[in-house]
Structure 1
Amino acid sequence: MFNKTLIAIACACSAIGTSAAYASEQSESKGFVEDSSLNLLLRNTYFNRDYKDGVNDAKTWGQGFITTFESGFTQGTVGVGVDAFGLLGIKLDSGRGRNYGAMFDTYSDGRPVDDISQAGAAVKLRISNTVIKYGNQFPSLPVLAYDDSRLLPQSFTGTLVTSNEIEGLELNAGRFTADSPMADSSRDPNHLKSIDVVGGTYAVTENIVTSLYYSDVEDEFEKSYVNLNYNLPIAAEQALNFDFNLYHTKYDDGSIAATDFGGDGDNDRNTIWSLAAKYSIGAHAFILAHQRSSGDAGYAYDYGDGGSTIYLANSYYSDFNLKDENSWQASYELDFSEYGVPGLSYKFAYVRGDNIDSGTGSDGTEREIFNQVSYVLQDGPAKDLSLRLRNSIYRASNDVGPDLNEIRAFIEYPLSIL
């Protein structure tokens, strides 16, 4: 009933041409073929996680081919279109005992598969500025965000309504019943029952944006999300930005997610929030952030709601989201374009978390040093080729997690075919 009501409301709203609505995208449609695009992303990924406490290290290297087709919409009051994708990941180096499971699935004997592949499609309808899409897709919402942080992207199967009838306001409502992880060719190996989502984002002014979302992962948890982002221009090359994020989670009775994050599975709750202040001056940016988790359990995600469903300031290798954890961040960003190297950027971050209730009777701690350098070619035959190298040095008390050093390297080259 929940999903039917949401979609019915969204469709009804889209059909009402309010005076506040701006130009209709559907009325400007050029056609199914004329507005179509076909793109291929070549992604080479190397992953190295070096554990310091005797745990087997993870080392995996792979080549990905991500093909996406997006059609235009047919002309008329109701536009019809199709989106489709094809994914192929080829293992270049890995092996039993050192495979990284988020890149390549394994056989029963522990050997990683040589390749993974998948294809999917979704049909879409557009009325005015409202799109209804059903099928395999990549939702990107604070309470349901597909994970694309390794070799191949995660996808979900379901219905999503996105409405932009009022300028500055985006509304979303949907229901998904299957999820395909990044490293698995299967359509729904996690047996997702359902996840309902509803919410929206509103640009109050040019410098103030707010969001409110809700989701319900069946038999796991209900989640609410609030965001407020405020940008304060100071001078021509100076600005101060404040970003506040909050999640409140109510776990279902017997939830596996709750017990995995320090709860007892008896209708546990969690509230986690972060506040980041970023001062930008020319090519430089300085960030300070505080994040705080409280309740009966830590903040759980990736139980059907996507591996990237954590829009919080202190999320790097660790997400600093454990039970009762408080964490602080100090970070620095540098854009080299002002020094004659456009496309080159660098980021450093130090995050420390403490007061963690690890269930051992003493407070646990964790800390991370994060470095990332990225470069995108601006012109020439290999224009848009991007290189990104990130490193995390992570240390924690024994009751929190194993110490490790991690390296991730990405080379991506997008090709526009159509």
Structure 2
Amino acid sequence: MKNSLTFTPLFLAIAATIAPIAHAADSTPADGFVEGSHLNINTRNYYMNRDRRDIHTDDSKEWGQGFLGTFESGYTQGTVGFGLDAHAMLGLKLDGGGGTDGSSILPYGNSEGSGKAPGSFSTAGGTLKMRAFDTELKAGDLFLNNPVIAGGMTRMLPQTFRGVSLTNHSFEGWMLEGGQASFTKLYNQSGHRRIGTSYGALPSNTDSQHMDWAGVSFSGIPGLTSNLYASELKDVWHQYYYDLDYTYALNYLVSLNPGLHYYHTQDTGQSLLGDIDNNTYSLHFTVGVGNHSVTAAYQRVNGNTPFDYIAQGDSVYLDNSQQYSDFNGPNERSWKLKYAYDFAGLGMPGLTSAVSYISGKTDLTKVDPQSRGYSAWYSADGKNAKHWERDIDLKYVVQGGKAKDLAVRLQWATNRGSNGYSAVDRDVDEYRVIVDYPINVF
């Protein structure tokens, strides 16, 4: 039986975020539209080299320079305040690598159909906002970041969504939000498109998907955080999320951190990706000792479709989502061991490192080969499909001087897999060099 739940999260969020009358008297206006304004520019230099070792093609090499300017106004005076946010992005090609080789730093190809990335691409957007007491409503181009809809931030330029959002902080330790988005600008494109999914193949004649969501976050107890979210991607799925994370300090040196992430995804409406009944969860336990930490994690996908999420987005709040693979295949089980060290312990503040090893296995023969959305995951020889990934991450942030906050990050991922997996999830080495320099104009 299909999940018949229907809801309008924006309405629920508005109803839930009506502040008590007594609280209104305590609210004070912001500094003002001009006085509360901020302008920031972030420059990001990004190089990615993706070496597909088992299909004998040229390495995917792309190098670019990105600029992101964001302006945030304050609010006009009064019980109800109004404001405006705006942003502009520019990406410059330094080395295109052909432009269509899939490393995803630059656009897939130009309008002339040459297959080469253009020399530059850009976009701009704006957001109108309104605040009343502790409730804020935004409409326009949004930077979103929650477990069911989060814009991708792991490339040269960020992903944005076009829609409306509402957040409320009336109660200490609680945050409530909801919204709807109809279009997205992908992180390596200039224009907007309808919202799609990362792993499912939607029908070519699909002309409209919009995303509704509502959620609540709690952080009212020291060391404890928890989130509960529900979303609907029209005619595709309902998705629900819950997490619980707790950090307990045994003493000034040792801390313990258990945590849980859980998603349930169920098809809805026209079921454009076919039947989906997927329960995915991950568990982690971290022991911190001084500047060292060791994390063990276990992740499980229960369902004959992969755990899926919004295209190019970061709404995959699972412990084993790594630099290259999400370890989210149908019926996949994976475990991870991670070691991290903060070099502040050796007198080098700002330098951090992490090394991870993740191993996963699954039975891909259970996937329906006639599935409308996920048949590409089916493999006749995928009874005991396996793959593993090793990640090394090194980052340094300048702590002072004229280059303060300049960040240099080096990432290396190695993925190896058996024949059950598709070529893209098999033998790959991927290198990234990322240099960020934020500038606070005012």
2:277 to 256, 269, 274: 269
C-alpha offsets along residues 26-58 of structure 1, whole Å, 9 cap, x if unaligned? x14110011110000010000000111124421
Distance 1:398 1:284 in 2: 37
CA contact (8 A) 2:280 2:307 kept: yes
Residue 125 to residue 118, structure 1, CA distance change in 2 (3 Å):
same
342, 345, 352: which one aligns with 1:335: 342
Which amino acid letter does the alignment assign opposite residue 291 of structure 2? A
Contact 2:10–2:213, Cα closer than 8 Å, also in 1 = no
Q: Confirm whether residue 209 of structure 1 aligns to residue 210 of structure 2.
A: no
Residue 407 in structure 1 maps to residue 408 in structure 2 = no
Unaligned runs of 5+ in 2: 196-206, 365-377
> Which of 104, 118, 124 pairs up with 2:129?
124
Q: Does the 8 Å contact 2:169/2:175 carry over to 1? A: yes
Question: Could you tell me which of 185, 193, 210 is aligned with 1:188?
Answer: 193
- 2:142 is aligned with 1:137: yes
Note if contact 2:99-2:117 (Cα within 8 Å) is conserved in structure 1. no
Shift of residue 148, structure 1, vs aligned partner:
1.0
Q: 1:192 to 1:395 in 2, by over 3 A?
A: farther
Equivalent residue, structure 1, for 2:249: 233
Gaps of 5+ in 1: 259-264
Deviation at 1:154, TM superposition (A): 0.6
Q: Check the 8 A contact 1:49/1:405 in 2, yes or no.
A: yes
In structure 2, the partner of 1:352 is: 359
Q: Which of these residues, 311, 314, 318, is aligned with residue 312 of structure 1? A: 318
Q: 1:122-160: CA deviations, max 9, x gaps?
A: 000111111000000111010000001011111000000
- Which residue type is aligned with residue 109 of structure 1? S
Identity fraction in percent:
34
Shift of 1:212: 0.5
Q: Under a length normalisation based on structure 1, what TM-score does the superposition of the two structures give? A: 0.92
The amino acid that maps onto 1:388 is R
Structure 1 vs Structure 2 CA RMSD: 2.1
CA distance, structure 2, for counterparts of residue 393 and residue 270 of structure 1: 28
1:74 matched to 2:76 = yes
2:392 equivalent to 1:371 = yes
Q: CA deviation at 1:75?
A: 1.3
C-alpha change, 1:397 and 1:331, in structure 2 (3 Å) is same
Equivalent residue letter for 1:365: K
> Cα–Cα, structure 1 residues 22 and 229, in superposed 2: closer, same or farther, change >3 Å?
farther
Letter in 1 for 2:433: A
Residues 15 and 153 of structure 1, relative CA distance in 2, 3 Å threshold? same
Residue identity matched to 2:244: L
Cα distance in 1, alignment partners of residues 298 and 165 from structure 2: 33
Return the offset for 1:229: 0.7
Write the distance in 2 (CA, Å) between the matches of 1:200 and 1:238. 30
**Aligned length in residues:** 405
CA displacement at 1:252 relative to structure 2: 4.0
CA contact (8 A) 2:320 2:326 kept: yes
Contact kept, 8 Å, 1:204 with 1:210, in 2: the verdict is no
Task: Tell me the distance in 1 between the aligned counterparts of 2:140 and 2:31.
Answer: 24
In 2, Cα distance between equivalents of 1:39 and 1:330: 37
Q: Name the aligned partner's letter for residue 404 of structure 1.
A: V
Question: Which residue number in structure 2 is paired with residue 261 of structure 1?
Answer: none
| Pair 170,371 (structure 1): closer, same or farther in 2 beyond 3 Å | same
Preserved contact between residue 22 and residue 167 of structure 1 (Cα < 8 Å): no
Displacement after TM superposition at 1:95 (Å): 3.2
Q: Does 1:16 align with 2:40?
A: no
CA contact (8 A) 1:21 1:165 kept: no
Separation in 2, partners of 1:177, 1:97: 28
TM-score normalized with structure 2 length: 0.87
**Which one has the bigger strand percentage?**
1
Any conservation in 1 of the 2:413–2:431 contact (CA below 8 Å)? yes
Give the corresponding residue for 2:89: 87
Look up the SS of the partner of 1:144 in the other structure.
coil
Q: Which moved more, 1:199-208 or 1:37-46?
A: 199-208
Q: Which is further off, 6-15 or 111-120?
A: 6-15
